[in-house]
Structure 1
Amino acid sequence: MTSQTTDEAFDPKPVLASLPNLPGVYRYLDKSGAVLYVGKAIDLKRRVSSYFQKSDQSPRIRLMLQQVAQIETTVVRSEAEALILENNLIKALSPRYNILFRDDKSYPYLVLTGHRYPRLAFYRGALDKRNQYFGPYPNSFAVRESMQLLQKVFKLRTCEDTVFENRSRPCLLYQIKRCSGPCVEHVSNDDYRRDVLHAVQLLQGKADEVLVTLQQKMDAASEAWQFEQAAVYRDQIQSLARVQERQFVSSNSSEQDADIVACVVKRGAVCVNVTMIRGGRHVGDKSIFPSHGEDYEVDGALEAFLAQHYLDRSVPSAIICNLSSHPEALIELLSTQAGRKVVINTNPNGERRVWLEMATKNAELALEQRLGSEATQLARLSALHEALGLSDSAQRIECFDISHTMGEATVASCVVYDRLNMQPKEYRHYNIKDITPGDDFAAMRQVLTRRYGKIAEGDGVVPDVVLIDGGKGQIGIALEVMNEVGLSDVLLVGVAKGETRKPGLEQLIVPASGMTLQLGREHAALHLIQQIRDEAHRFAITGHRARRAKTRTTSSLEDIEGIGAKRRQRLLTRFGGLQGVRAASIDDLVQVDGISRALAERIYNALH
């Protein structure tokens, strides 16, 4: 490792002179030691030196170089190893000048479990070798659509193990012919295994093979005068044929699993569209917009995406993209990671070229919509600056709301608007405790004290504006809290509903100026406030409902003497949840294994 740091103007020459002509990773740091940029190089000396020798650097790179106070380098054995280290550091450090493709949420899979009667399920998380996984898919909708298709054709079970193991009669899915009823042995183990095998073949893109097999079985059953069984095969063939009709990716393609990745750069913004082909079937696409993408060209942005996106993630057999060069190091790295050959096709032809053109068009459309949305948000934010007298640099807005049901399970929400968009990763729920039920003023005091007490101590970002969903009472509490924690300079705005509580009649209470504003229905600033306020309201209700459901489900049965984990599970399974237990009579409760008459009466009385 090589480095230099000094309090004076940074002189890179001593560091550059000592750099080797070897592959490695370099890091630029500022005076505080924060990492500004991470990069990789086949030749460290040549690559790092080029930053300080070029005179035509972009404004963004010139700004970065002005802040550099230290250079650190790490030598590695190969370009592929440098690629791994570079992206691990980018993921861990989030450098200010690197393009960042943040996609922390894991992609969903469709899973067939390793049980005697395998279960078809939606799955996110680490993969277990005992199960079969198919994917990843671009979103949960694509997984659930595939599950519905497989249920219609092969009638595989989707129920949880606790339900499956305690059934005494088939469920509704059996009645509507979406499950073959393995829980009550309405299908033999061999027949169910055969259906699972066909489902796997379909997911692997071998639909034609499945159709041939089903046709042969139907013909054999007909010849043996087993017409009911032949009708089952006929229905499967017809369902599978309808599924195939819905595909617009050719099933003749040799690439049954492939990602088509197209990058578009326009007006300083970057969009990458990932279209996923799974089992020869188009299952959806996703457009991703990176942070810090200014000044990047298509190749630079796309190479960064491929490295950040696929490292430590499932890789399809083929990646088709619009890179202008062949990324040998990345191919080597992804092939090693996948344990098989991964093809990155940068010059496709035939139908693959059509796929890439389709993905490119989707990226262009998504980027245009994004730019249009940002222009609208910029206009709204500018209008808010003018209406409230904010400085041009003000852009971070936090909004609070309180939600409860007659004082039960009170939850406060905090949502964040920053960088011309809502920032869901920065949202927070606060469970409100130790207050008089229904006291919204006390709830507001608690959430503001908890949040801004920490921020005042340096743990967090101070907002430019705080919106409070409420009138003069709530805004008065907010003023007291902000003065107590030492953040009295933050602008507070109360958003009070109008007399008829209709959107567009809101009153804005601004204690700093003593004003109460009522903007016009079409005022751009009001639209921004409504957007943020409504999101805070939605997020508060979501948190409240989750907390209320958890409280009611756990406490109602757990607090009854004689009800342990096993009996509670039997009750919930038998009656389909807590509401079903509440609706059951004493005679119904007695039918559950382990529930005596006396205990049934105790349960009934406790729940009523």
Structure 2
Amino acid sequence: MNSEIENTLKIIPHSPGCYQFLDEKGKVIYVGKAKDLKRRVSSYFNKFQDNPKTRVLVKNIRQIKYIVVNSEEESFLLENNLIKQLKPRYNVMLKDDKTYPSIVVKNEYFPRVYKTRNIVKDGSKYFGPYTSVMSVNALIDIFRKVYHVRTCRLNLTPENIAAGKFKVCLEYHIKRCQGPCEGYQSLEDYNKNIEEIVEILKGNVGIVEKQLQSKMQQYAEELRFEEAQALKEKYLLIQNFREKSQVVSNLNYNLDVFGYDDDENSAYINYLHVVNGAVVQAYTFEYRKKLDETREELLSLGIVEMRQRFGSESKEIIVPFLPDLTLTNVEFTIPQRGDKKKLLELSDKNVKQYKLDKLKKAEMLNPDQRATRILTTVQKDLHLKEIPWHIECFDNSNIQGTNPVASCVVFKKAKPSKKDYRHFNVKTVVGPDDFASMREIVERRYSRALNEGSPLPQLIVIDGGKGQLHAAVDSLQKIGLYGKIAVIGIAKRLEEIYFPEDPIPLYLDKNSETLKLIQQLRDEAHRFGITFHRQKRSKSQLTSEFDNIKGVGTETRKKLLTHFKSIKRLKEADEKEIIEVVGESKGKIVIDHFKNQS
């Protein structure tokens, strides 16, 4: 496994989508789908493959590409499109290339309407493909019941009908066909029904809804409730038959889709090529900015590049904004709603994923880059004079005033520096006074740092609101550091950030990296302080009556507790038994201690 594959496996998202394996020549050798891309793709490399064909496939992989989608269903559709388009070598060996069904309106006299998986260019109209066979069957059943389309394969030319070559079948007698084979229904009347069916397949379901509602009302008036209920179920099915998919649409779009994003140095463009409503190409690429190019210019370059590379002649291009480009007989569209809007959102999703993956790869190769980016954001958000490479956070901990302690955690380059963490026993404060405790520990921490010449932080974070922050500021003023070190407080209630001498708090976006880093500092200081506090409480609770017996050491106490198990049993024990356990001299000390207590 080469380094490129290793890096891809580290950044690939836990999202549904399709993945492509490429060989050393850059040719796609396998296309697969996944509900979770990271888990599925990683499984090829982190375990032994039992299938020898799969082992051969993995051996030939040199590069991995992937496309994210919105659902597992869409990953099926996209995989189907890509396999038919790319014809990868190992898909033939490792899986069955299934095709999703379409609905055809046949180009013939008295057109039939039926399900098919084979597209024949004979002038017929095809709609789909559909992911749900149940939806297709329900729709065709609707057409047969409502419009009485024929199901036979007879060649119903006007000449054959006039010659009387055919006789009506059972479908006519059960009123599922109007008998065009014997001339009982005209071609004009039949084609009107076909026109309505085509409108429904295009998505205009309002026509058939009225038909069904009228039929249901008629059946209800005739007290034919079971038939009315059956029609109601079909009515609900036809309302839901269109797949809400961005990868395959029921409308036969032929268009190109471009998503765009950028940063200071680069522009990122995603290209989706849609043929007959199906996404058959997806490609994301990057332009390095050289001069002060506008986003309109960069998008124009990308459009020309991709259309030439993939030989696209689509007459419609979906874009997030109008490019600085004019193409002959080509229309640019900025969709506001509907299927085209969803296709643009899918393209935007892939371009943002590409940008995120590039950032993650760069940060893996240079960890300091991530720290610089995060801390530069912190500096900007908190209006600091310098980048806070060294941050310290303080927290108090006490329960009902007992065992008051405090903690100081240290982050360097946005990561915990645990060797620099410190615990404090609060010495000068009696009772639960958090403000006084904060004054003491801040003064002790930085007085010692000044005396020892230790490096000082660029930012101090106080776990608490205005009160704790002011207490810390008092100590910094006392030792002459206020104004030299930035200090803020974070309150737990609404995660508001307080600054000294500013009564109005700062509210950061809950997803901002600055707030997440401050929360990580606060939570780590709280965890570290609570751990120390628990240790002190446990130690104090373990102090027993033995500690008050002069002349009895650790080893003697251990022997007594091992033998008698408790103080109560020791008090009730016979003097002779005590002397046998610890000897005569130590035994008399213990016996005299309990006698004096009595």
- TM-score of the superposition, structure 2-length normalised? 0.34
Which of 1 and 2 has greater Rg? 2
- TM-score of the superposition, structure 1-length normalised? 0.34
